[in-house]
Structure 1
Amino acid sequence: VEMLSPRETIHEFCVAVRDQLDFRKEAANNRRFQTIFADDPDVFVPKLHEEFCGEAVIVMEFVEGVKDSDIDSLDLDRKRLAQIGVRAILKMIYDHGFVHADLHPGNILFQPDYKVYFIDLGMVGEIDETRRNGLAATILGLARNDGPTVARFMYDGSPRKSVTDYDVYEQDVCALVNMMHQRSLNDFEMSEAIGAVFDICRRHKLHADPAFTTINIAMIVVEGLGKKLAPDLDLFAYVQPYLMQVVARAPEVFQQIVTSSTPRPSLDEHALPPVVAAIDTATDGAESSDEPGPGTGASL
């Protein structure tokens, strides 16, 4: 249990719950999400009635919509909806490190014109850029059947570690990654994978980073949303170009990804143009922005 960093995780959870008792913080979260999705034509959060908001009360617009369980009542392209929802959550995690931490299905509403609303914004999680890059690299390694990359970034991301034999640890991670790659997408479960990762961490005395608790939940929601709305959506193929653009902003991380000697499937040809553009941005114009996006205008 100690390997799961329970004290730190419980502390993070208690802080998040306590913050929900002060509606000024939820209002601040709402404003930040308004900024995050200001240029997104598909994703929204309810607008605040600022004059009525305070410590003990928050007032916002009423939002009509249906949950994913009732999506059949809308005659919509389910795959398009899934892509909008997944893209929004990826944007929270990897572009801004500011994540809705209570993403159960009741807090995501869909409208007939393909608008997606996130509601109940009192609980959020934050993750710094270093962790975001490491997580992106880890998932890329998983998507590309690159066990050594997954092992390396899991190891680097652990706040405390006492691994006695790195080679054995790496072999265990590679076996897990390979096993997951043998399954079809419908047989793959993110929650099961996270549990298996925690088991490896426990056996090799790698402490889990409590900062990833919220992110793990969000990734499970991403998977569940994709499977429920569009079971044929290849989630790994969909997110891979996006994550390549994320790690391209960190040249040292990108270098480790592209030089890994592990045999793996090649990048899809459609992923390459935005990746090249992201590399150009990272190498030629990094000074122009404190927090560049993952490739402005690039299609996911």
Structure 2
Amino acid sequence: MHPGNILVRVTQRKSSRKSKPHIIFFDVGMTAELSKNDQINLLGFFKAIALRDGRTAAECTLKLSKKQNCPKPEAFIQEVKESFDFWGTPEGDLIHPAECMQQLLEMVRRHKVNIDGNVCTVMVTVLVLEGWQRKLDPDYDMMHTLQTLLLRADWAKSLSYTIEGLMAP
């Protein structure tokens, strides 16, 4: 995805109610199909991020490939845990969630953690969308939304259902 493939349309309302923008995606030729196991692991990964649980985020990351070649998984888990512990401090809280995600992906590269291509496509797409969200509304708190969607049981179940419905047969 790139800026030319995303359109934000705001319809003008005659009433005093605030208009809701609609995001329209063009040419979404690159698609990914996630297995049920990938969906569960990815959902666990995002929940761990919302909870700022580095150990679980790292463990979920290690499960994002059917064939894992990370030579020292415990070292990877420890480094991710320490990073999450810092991100939960007042100084670390100043780091934008997208920057945290980029740092996490750098740890993935450094520790030679495998992530299957379909899962990687989803993660990169989330980063692209988050970047656009930040440009459209810099004051929007993505972490709050993530926590609301993933930590409330009814939202998590609904999100899981939605993800299943979006997957190609």
Question: 1 CA distance for matches of 2:52 and 2:121?
Answer: 25
Aligned with 1:292 (options 137, 143, 161): 161
Within-5 A mapping of 1:35-74: none
Aligned with 1:220 (options 119, 127, 140): 127
Structure 2: give runs of 5+ residues left out of the alignment.
Answer: 12-20, 164-169
Shift of 1:195: 4.2
More RCO (CA 8 Å, sep 6+): 2
Question: 2 CA distance for matches of 1:147 and 1:204?
Answer: 15
Q: Which residue in the other structure is 1:183 paired with?
A: 93
Sequence identity percentage: 25
- Look up the equivalent residue of 2:141 and give its one-letter code: D
Q: Secondary structure at the match of 1:232?
A: coil
Shift of 1:237: 1.1
What is the TM-score of this pair, normalised by structure 1?
0.43
2:115 aligned with 1:208, yes or no?
yes
Question: 2 CA distance for matches of 1:292 and 1:111?
Answer: 27
2:48 aligned with 1:138, yes or no?
no
Deviations 1:227-263 (CA, angstroms, capped at 9, x unpaired): 112212110111223234xxxxxxxxxxxxxxxxxxx
Q: Structure 2 vs 1, CA of residues 204 and 121 (structure 1 numbering), >3 Å: closer, same or farther?
A: closer
Larger radius of gyration: 1
Q: Which residue in the other structure is 1:118 paired with?
A: 25
Deviant stretches of 4+, over 6 Å: none
Q: Which residue in the other structure is 1:151 paired with?
A: 58
Q: Structure 2 vs 1, CA of residues 230 and 207 (structure 1 numbering), >3 Å: closer, same or farther?
A: same
Structure 1: give runs of 5+ residues left out of the alignment.
Answer: 1-101, 245-270, 282-290, 295-300
Question: 1 CA distance for matches of 2:22 and 2:75?
Answer: 48
Alpha-carbon contact 2:47-2:150 (below 8 Å) kept: yes
Within-5 A mapping of 1:214-293: 214-244=121-151, 271=152, 274=154, 278=157, 292-293=161-162
| Paired residue total | 150
Alpha-carbon contact 2:70-2:114 (below 8 Å) kept: no
Q: Which residue in the other structure is 1:255 paired with?
A: none
Question: 2 CA distance for matches of 1:163 and 1:143?
Answer: 24
Shift of 1:173: 1.0
CA RMSD of aligned residues (A): 2.8
Question: 2 CA distance for matches of 1:203 and 1:119?
Answer: 34
- Look up the equivalent residue of 1:220 and give its one-letter code: L
Alpha-carbon contact 2:65-2:115 (below 8 Å) kept: yes
Deviations 1:203-244 (CA, angstroms, capped at 9, x unpaired): 434223222232122111221122112212110111223234
Alpha-carbon contact 1:137-1:243 (below 8 Å) kept: no
Alpha-carbon contact 1:134-1:157 (below 8 Å) kept: yes
Q: Secondary structure at the match of 2:10?
A: coil
Q: Secondary structure at the match of 2:161?
A: coil
Q: Which residue in the other structure is 2:34 paired with?
A: 127
Shift of 1:194: 4.3
Q: Secondary structure at the match of 2:66?
A: coil
Shift of 1:198: 3.7
Question: 2 CA distance for matches of 1:176 and 1:159?
Answer: 25
